[in-house]
Amino acid sequence: MIKNENIKLYNGVSMPRIGFGTWQSSPEDAYKSVLWALECGYRHIDTAYVYGNEKEVGRAIKDSRIRRDEIFVCSKCPANVKTYEGCIEHFFETLKNLGLEYLDLYLIHAPWPWDNIGLDCTKGNVDVWRAMVELYHKGLIRAIGVSNFSERDIEAIVGLTDFKPMVNQIRYFIGNTQERLTRYCQNEGIVVEAYSPLATGKLLENEDIKRIALKYNTTIPKLCIRYCIEKNTVPLPKSVHKDRIEANLDVDFKISEDDLKVLDSIHDMSLDRPYRS
């Protein structure tokens, strides 16, 4: 079953094959949904400092009474933080918010501030990365990575630190798979996490996806999640509804090569983001 499967990072750490996302979840919704997710069998929880729900995520983890070493917890250093000191400060605040002694995965949330997409922040990213490498070597983080980083962004920090990210969490779904970047990461041994695997609901009316979902007697959300798994990425579906949270784990089926080719051919330009490389 998918909830029992793991993918191994290049440093040997095992990460659950599917995660549970909390982006855009209010603190109250985050608490309830994470608790439900853990009850359903998720063991990989994704949050971020800027989501404003770390405390509630941490409370749900504690209230689940599941052993800490059985839950893989990821959070992120804010995209606007581009100093060594700022990263250290926010990391320890995140630990305090979550009520944890260590993180399983910590990411740089983006290579640039969200209000200035495309800005060259190489120096700041290197400073933050050095702080994260230090925290990793101290045993406070089991794995470190990046999010929304392009090939060039990754090569810049690796070139100046000689330390490669273990994960790149990117926007990834049927119709927008960032194919070149995904191929680069996977060739480099960097695991790709797929956030917004349902394109925040925008794939639910796609006729091609509907037709293939019917063929497998499944739903569009489940097909979209399974597609990400077939592409060797780690999907991070989210919901605040208990039945959907549980349903999103029911993806133990295979998509045929022919159907994967059809899904690969879908491209909706309206869902592209104008990120400047």
Which amino acids are annotated catalytic?
A: 51
Residues in the chain: 277
Nearest CA-CA partner of 19 in 53, 50, 47: 47
Beta bridge partners of 44: 72
Six-digit token pair at 149? 């980083």
Residue 47 CA to residue 91 CA, distance in Å, equals 13
Task: Report the alpha-carbon distance of residue 255 to residue 260 in Å, rounded.
Answer: 6
CA distance 144 to 146: 7
**Rounded to whole angstroms, how far apart are CA atoms 40 and 253?**
18
